[in-house]
Amino acid sequence: MVPGIIGKKIGMTHVYDEKGTMVPVTVVQAGPCFVVQVKQQSQDGYNAIQIGYGQVSEKKLTRPVLMHLKKRGLPPLGTLREIRVAANKVSEYTPGQQLTVEAFQPGQYVDVTGTSIGKGFQGVVKRHHFRGGPATHGSMSHRAPGSIGNTAPQRVPRGRKMAGHMGCQKVTVQNLKIVKILPEENCLLLEGAVPGPREGLVLIQPAIKKTRLT
Amino acid sequence: MSKLLHELENKLLPRNDVPAFWPGDELAVHILIKEGDKERIQVFTGICIGRRGSGLRETFTVRKLSYGEAVERVFPVHSPSVKKIEVIKSREKNRLAPRAKLYYLRKQK
């Protein structure tokens, strides 16, 4: 079982299952990824593998990164990411090894991590689903947050929901089902939505809560 | 839509026997209906008043008069439940305006 694979969100469409029901799917072009480095407890203090995805021109990389890849005979890769692996599983991986979508199975559940679409500075109605005030009847408070506390503590409690920057955050969606795998195009069809914009990078890992196949 | 997604949709098309039809054509749509474990085919006949979307996600709207009451149904073109689409009468023969969307029919009746 691969610990994870990096991919690019292509977009959404739908397919029909064997019963003829329409299933909304997100197409993710994932891999091929390369194992770049294997980190071990004895050397690095923890167990992980570093995987790389997406070929770029050599000019796009700094020399330390380029040599880090070249030393292991790998092409210039734009994205490097570390994934923690259990101590007894580390020996299964060697630098240069390829990870493809074929390591997954249809029906398997996965967790998908991406960067959500940035929304900029937003008010409390959009950002925290506040109700806002009445629109008419002399109301002068339409989308304002209202009271932010009592007289008693003489300060605003930490974590009070207010207006501010929204989106562009790391978001993980758990338990998405793999509907179909297209090995020729390196594509996975995942049921439902995946965080982030089209062309956004996502990390696909086997689900930690739902490991059973359906 | 990205080129790759467009290509994938064409690859995933469950059927390729959809006839050429346009808004204004009179269609007979054969729909598979499941009642418990029984299956039967029902035919919905009416005028196609528009097509929407593209590729795998394309749908079309069929309008008919059922006992004086107008009924509209939207079908996905590539749904496995739509067993057959027949063109009974072309738009020219129906003497309808060449429009992509024949929504004006809703106001006429």
Q: Are residues A124 and A45 in the same domain?
A: no
Contact B9 A29 (CB under 8 A): no
Number of helices (H), then strands (E), in chain B:
3, 5
Residue A139 falls inside a structural domain: no
Q: How many CB atoms lie within 10 A of CB A82?
A: 14
Q: Give the nearest partner residue to A16 out of B4, B55, B79, using CB atoms.
A: B79
Please compute the mean of the pLDDT values over residues A100-125 and round it to a whole number. Answer: 92
Residue that wins the pLDDT comparison between B7 and B59: B59
Contact A187 B8 (CB under 8 A): yes
pLDDT above 80 for B13: no
CATH number at residue A203: 2.40.30.10
Lowest mean pLDDT among A84-98, A101-115, B49-63: A84-98
Q: Are residues A13 and A94 in the same domain?
A: no
Q: Give the nearest partner residue to B5 out of A10, A20, A22, using CB atoms.
A: A10
Residue that wins the pLDDT comparison between A162 and A58: A162
**CB-based contact (8 Å) between A187 and chain B?**
yes
pLDDT band at A74 (very low <50, low <70, confident <90, very high): confident
Contact B2 A20 (CB under 8 A): no
Residue A90 falls inside a structural domain: yes
Min distance B12 CA to chain A CA atoms (Å): 8
Q: What is the mean pLDDT of chain A?
A: 89
Min distance B32 CA to chain A CA atoms (Å): 10
Residue A205 falls inside a structural domain: yes
Q: Are residues A105 and A93 in the same domain?
A: no
Please compute the mean of the pLDDT values over residues A79-85 and round it to a whole number. Answer: 89
Residue A187 neighbours by CB under 8 Å, 6+ apart: A10, A27, A28, A29, A30, A101, A181, B4, B8
Contact A22 B9 (CB under 8 A): no
Contact B79 A14 (CB under 8 A): no
Q: What pLDDT, on the 0 to 100 scale, is given for residue A137?
A: 94
Domain boundary among A49, A80, A99: A99
pLDDT above 90 for B93: no
Q: Which amino acid is at B107?
A: K
Chain A to chain B Cβ contacts (< 8 Å): 41
Residue that wins the pLDDT comparison between A96 and A192: A192
Q: What is the mean pLDDT of chain B?
A: 86
Tens of pLDDT, residues A152-188: 899 999 999 999 999 999 999 999 999 989 888 888 9
Distance of CA B39 to the CA centre of its chain: 21
Residue A202 falls inside a structural domain: yes
Residue A188: in which H helix or E strand, if any?
Answer: strand A187-191
Q: What pLDDT, on the 0 to 100 scale, is given for residue A1?
A: 67
Q: Are residues A44 and A125 in the same domain?
A: no
CATH number at residue A49: 3.30.160.810
Tens of pLDDT, residues A115-124: 999 999 999 9
Residue A113: in which H helix or E strand, if any?
Answer: strand A109-115
Q: Give the nearest partner residue to A20 out of B2, B5, B80, using CB atoms.
A: B80
Q: What pLDDT, on the 0 to 100 scale, is given for residue B98?
A: 84
**CB-based contact (8 Å) between B77 and chain A?**
no
pLDDT above 70 for B17: yes
Tell me A90's DSSP state: G
CA-to-CA distance for A110 and A107, rounded, in angstroms?
10
Q: Are residues A119 and A199 in the same domain?
A: yes
Distance of CA A8 to the CA centre of its chain: 10
Q: Are residues A22 and A79 in the same domain?
A: no
Residue that wins the pLDDT comparison between A96 and A135: A135
Residue A16 falls inside a structural domain: yes
Tens of pLDDT, residues B50-91: 999 888 888 999 999 889 889 999 999 888 888 888 888 888
Q: Are residues A84 and A40 in the same domain?
A: yes
Q: What is the dihedral of CA A28, A32, A36, A42, to 10 degrees?
A: 70
Residue A1 falls inside a structural domain: yes
Q: How many CB atoms lie within 10 A of CB A130?
A: 17
What residues make up the domain containing A210?
Answer: 1-31+101-131+163-214
Number of domains comprising chain A: 2
Q: What pLDDT, on the 0 to 100 scale, is given for residue A135?
A: 93
Is A50 buried (19+), middle (13-18) or exposed (0-12) by CB count in 10 A?
middle
Q: How many CB atoms lie within 10 A of CB A137?
A: 5
